């Protein structure tokens, strides 16, 4: 069920009222287009934009004298002006414009498009069907098989140079399997699981979350720092070139096959069909499969498969005549907000959650949706008792779309109040400068202690087996633990009072806690829960400073100078250690005998083969897992990187190695296989 968007019947409009509505629609569409294309932060759902755009098209058709040259219907990418350069990226002129596709929103409209296409072509055409990936359009230029430029669509004529960022996307080949000179086009997207992890991290850090994977991909690709793009783990599918003659094929399906041969990532679900009933069956099939795909799709693209006929049909000023996009109707439901609850996370971020009447959405029953932060809550203006639209961002994360104001209970004229005090400990809440989050800064807040203890004991941190959320909750409820250091004072008689604990399980947990004292200090740095400091950054910090006290006493400038850290993380680290409560905690942990030193086999021997080498891993490994090998190398002083460059010292190649192996050989980088690595690692034992 979707909320209806009502417009006055066109036949009831005068020339004057039509002119005013066209102006209003144009202004709205241009604004929404800027938000979508330039700012990667749309304020309305896609279906709202589409409905208003369709209304503008209908009005201009009914009143052709009112069509203006700068109308959104006359632009390739409405709202994305050439002059705008919010990211400061270099401009790129597309030799062949990057056109948008025409849209239809029903099977009936699709059949009408087929009738027109068949008439213009003189015969029924075979169509190549492709999934419409919900991402950001990209152009890639190769000369003699080597990637030389990557650019966004921009306004269709002028885009932005994102070459350095695209080079961090592992799926996009730096060198083709043939030495061709060609420009290809496709989509940059973010997988659903990557999107969910990214938003969870941003939410926890008090940063604005992305509305959907498309916005996340666009925001990640248009960064000035390629390191940020690399951390976002983007993906790609390639599906088009205007230079079909270079590939030596006469069909669109053949183009995709040639792309695969060249090493491009190509979506595997294209299908060539011969009639519209098969198109309908394909749409029905992927309407069902959509929720289970690892990436987001928002429709199906239908393309004339014969490239000669494609060329004959040509393009309008805005769209190709040989292709059309069928867009899925938005999968939304209406529900009623019954409550808004506030929870406190490990870092003190206080998050509002809407509790709603249960509804079935994308195959699951949903009754809760995060409202993220006070700004988001106030922007949506959600109130208890409101009827709201609910959808799944990226087909996975329940999200409130908009309030249906016509259904708001009478007399409810006050916005929902933002709490001033922590729902867990009652402390005054604060807005940290530069964040959208509301925070509790009381380090002894019970909710933070619970989440902090779970994180402290987790596998990537202190790795205390048996100390999960259920046990932590009991320890806090019984007041056996009030802060992290209390873990190291636990006694067997206390553990025996916990549910499902006997002597053996109590002894096992006490042994795990005791053994954690001997961890190398990077685990403790991770466990402390410093904002923005994960396991990888903790290892870098530990390897550099060697001891926790050295890190504790370091300045922000000293920390920021370390490769891979940066100023934001450095400021967070200094702010963390400046806390009096943190100082007390560090002293208590030291008194309990926790190791504060970096333990590495390379710390006493800098002569090992791998020490101080920049190493890249690629291909499938048989005797090691990728994380095991990376951890071993870093323990022995290596710097493991994700991409091959002239600075790479060594590539360790498993089976089925691809573009990284080819590039390493071209650059003269030494390459060894897994067995050679094993032989070298055995020599360092």
C-beta of residue 229 within 8 angstroms of C-beta of residue 221: yes
Per-residue DSSP letter, 426? -
With vertex at residue 91, the alpha carbon angle to CA 90 and CA 94, rounded to the nearest 5 degrees, is 140
CA pair distance 426, 407, nearest whole angstrom: 35
**E-assigned strands of 328-370?**
333-344, 349-361, 364-370
CA pair distance 123, 528, nearest whole angstrom: 69
CA pair distance 293, 669, nearest whole angstrom: 37
Please give the positions annotated as active site: 132
CA pair distance 81, 39, nearest whole angstrom: 12
How would you classify the pairing of strands 323-327 and 103-104?
Answer: parallel
How far is CA 569 from its chain centroid? 20
Closest by CA to 580, choosing from 443, 673, 487, is 443
How would you classify the pairing of strands 364-370 and 349-361?
Answer: antiparallel
How far is CA 385 from its chain centroid? 32
CA pair distance 232, 229, nearest whole angstrom: 5
Sequential DSSP letters for 454-509: HHHHSTTTT--TT--HHHHHHHHHTTS-SSGGGGGG--HHHHTTSTT--HHHHHHH
With vertex at residue 399, the alpha carbon angle to CA 398 and CA 400, rounded to the nearest 5 degrees, is 135
CA pair distance 373, 383, nearest whole angstrom: 14
Q: In the block, which residue shows the tokens 């604060």? A: 430
Environment class of residue 500 by beta-carbon count within 10 Å: exposed (0-12), middle (13-18) or buried (19+)? exposed
The CA-atom distances, in angstroms, between 211 and each of 133, 214, 517, 602 are 16, 8, 42, 44
Per-residue DSSP letter, 647? T
C-beta of residue 593 within 8 angstroms of C-beta of residue 587: no
């Amino acid at each position: 069920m979707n909320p209806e968007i009502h417009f006055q019947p066109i036949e009831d409009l005068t020339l004057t009222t039509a002119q005013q509505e066209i102006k209003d629609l144009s202004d709205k569409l241009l604004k929404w287009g800027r938000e979508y294309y330039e700012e990667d932060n749309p304020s309305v759902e896609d279906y709202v934009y589409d409905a208003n755009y369709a209304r503008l098209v209908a009005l201009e058709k009914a009143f052709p004298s009112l069509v203006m040259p700068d109308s959104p219907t006359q632009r390739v990418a409405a709202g994305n002006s050439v002059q705008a350069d919010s990211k400061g990226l270099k401009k790129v002129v597309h030799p062949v414009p990057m056109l948008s596709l025409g849209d239809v929103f029903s099977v009936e409209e699709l059949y009408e498009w087929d009738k027109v296409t068949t008439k213009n072509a003189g015969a029924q055409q075979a169509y190549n069907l492709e999934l419409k990936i919900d991402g950001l359009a990209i152009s890639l230029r190769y000369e003699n098989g080597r990637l030389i430029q990557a650019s966004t669509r921009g306004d269709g004529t002028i885009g932005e140079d994102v070459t350095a960022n695209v080079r961090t996307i592992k799926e996009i080949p730096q060198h083709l399997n043939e030495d061709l000179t060609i420009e290809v086009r496709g989509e940059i997207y973010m997988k659903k699981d990557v999107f969910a992890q990214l938003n969870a991290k941003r939410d926890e850090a008090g940063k604005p979350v992305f509305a959907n994977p498309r916005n996340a991909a666009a925001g990640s690709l248009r960064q000035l720092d390629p390191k940020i793009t690399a951390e976002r783990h983007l993906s790609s599918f390639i599906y088009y070139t205007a230079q079909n003659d270079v590939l030596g094929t006469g069909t669109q399906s053949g183009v995709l096959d040639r792309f695969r041969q060249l090493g491009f990532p190509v979506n595997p679900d294209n299908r060539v069909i011969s009639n519209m009933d098969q198109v309908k069956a394909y749409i029905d099939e992927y309407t069902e499969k959509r929720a289970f795909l690892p990436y987001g799709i928002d429709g199906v693209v239908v393309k004339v498969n014969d490239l000669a006929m494609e060329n004959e049909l040509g393009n309008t000023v805005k769209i190709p005549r040989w292709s059309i996009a069928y867009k899925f109707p938005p999968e939304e439901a209406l529900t009623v907000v019954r409550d808004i609850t506030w929870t406190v996370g490990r870092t003190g971020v206080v998050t509002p959650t809407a509790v709603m009447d249960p509804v079935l959405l994308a195959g699951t029953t949903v009754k809760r949706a995060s409202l993220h932060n006070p700004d988001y809550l106030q922007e949506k203006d959600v109130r208890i008792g409101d009827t709201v639209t609910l959808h799944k961002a990226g087909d996975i994360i329940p999200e409130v779309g908009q309030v249906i104001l016509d259904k708001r209970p009478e007399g409810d004229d006050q916005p929902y109040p933002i709490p001033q005090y922590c729902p867990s400990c009652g402390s005054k809440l604060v807005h940290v400068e530069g964040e959208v989050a509301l925070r509790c800064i009381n380090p002894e807040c019970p909710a933070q202690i619970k989440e902090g203890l779970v994180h402290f004991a987790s596998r990537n941190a202190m790795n205390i087996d048996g100390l999960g959320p259920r046990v932590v909750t009991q320890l806090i409820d019984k007041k056996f633990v009030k802060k992290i250091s209390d873990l190291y004072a636990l006694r067997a008689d206390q553990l025996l009072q916990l549910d499902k604990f006997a002597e053996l399980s109590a002894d096992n947990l006490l042994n795990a806690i005791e053994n954690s004292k001997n961890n190398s200090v990077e685990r403790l740095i991770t466990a402390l829960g410093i904002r923005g400091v994960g396991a990888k950054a903790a290892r870098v910090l530990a390897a550099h400073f060697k001891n926790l006290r050295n890190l504790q006493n370091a300045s922000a400038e000293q920390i920021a100078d370390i490769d891979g850290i940066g100023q934001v993380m450095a400021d967070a680290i200094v702010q963390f250690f400046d806390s009096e409560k943190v100082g007390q905690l560090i002293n208590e942990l030291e008194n309990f005998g926790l190791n504060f030193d970096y333990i590495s086999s390379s710390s006493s021997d800098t002569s090992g083969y791998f020490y101080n080498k920049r190493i890249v891993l690629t291909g499938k490994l048989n005797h090691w897992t990728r994380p095991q090998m990376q951890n071993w190398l870093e323990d022995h002083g290596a710097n493991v990187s994700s991409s091959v460059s002239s600075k790479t010292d060594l590539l360790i190649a498993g089976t089925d190695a691809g573009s990284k192996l080819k590039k390493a050989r071209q650059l003269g980088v030494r390459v060894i296989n897994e067995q050679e690595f094993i032989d070298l690692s055995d020599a360092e034992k």
